[in-house]
Amino acid sequence: MKPDMLIADEPVSALDVSIQAQVINLLNDLRDQLGLTILFIAHDLSVVKYFSDRIGVMYFGKMVELADSDELFAHPLHPYTRSLLSSIPLPDPRTEKIRTRITYNPLAAHDYSVDKPTLREVLPGHYVQCNDAEFARYREELGLSAEMEQP
């Protein structure tokens, strides 16, 4: 059939770790050999980071953040993304025990009563669902000016 794209919805979620690795290696081989684009849908962020070049974070069916894998993990901007990343278990039990997880409460995190959010490019290739005030705050957090051309 030689598809251009493969949709993999939770392909390793219920598998033993060693089998997960075999499936991911197989998908990587297929991607490389056939030049496939793979839409990899998963909840295991460690696997997503390992496998994906770009990551889109969705909340209730809406894209809230989209960036290259390394960029997203280095500079998570949307509060939901930060919450997800704070929930990844750490291999050190002492660190894990004292670590603080971030809780996402959309009503407390956003005021969209007047200024509605749109998906905006905060950095080149890094998009976040935000309003004007959040956009300015995210740019400031990154040490950038609030102005940036919006398409």
Q: Which SS3 state, helix, strand or coil, does residue 128 take?
A: strand
Q: Tell me the CA distances in angstroms from 47 to 26, 40, 106, one per residue in order.
A: 14, 10, 26
Give CA–CA dist 41/133, Å, rounded. Answer: 31
Give dist(CA 47, CA 51) in Å, integer: 6
Indicate the domain borders of the chain: 1-52, 53-151
pLDDT confidence bin for 146, thresholds 50/70/90: low
Q: Per residue in 72-127, pLDDT tens?
A: 999 999 999 999 999 888 888 898 888 889 999 999 999 999 999 999 999 999 99
* Whole-number pLDDT of residue 89: 85
For 1-41, the pLDDT digits (tens) are 788 999 999 999 989 989 999 999 999 999 999 999 999 99
Predicted confidence (pLDDT) at residue 151 exceeds the cutoff of 60: no
Over 80: is that where the pLDDT of 149 sits? no
What separation, in Å, do the N-terminal and C-terminal C-alpha atoms of the chain show?
A: 37
Mean pLDDT, range 129-149, rounded to an integer: 86
**What is the reported pLDDT for 31?**
93
Token output for 144: 């950038």
Transcribe 72-102 into DSSP letters.
HHHS--SHHHHHHHHTSPPS-HHHHHHPPPP
Residue 117's contacts (CB-CB under 8 Å, 6 or more residues apart) are 110, 129, 130, 131, 134
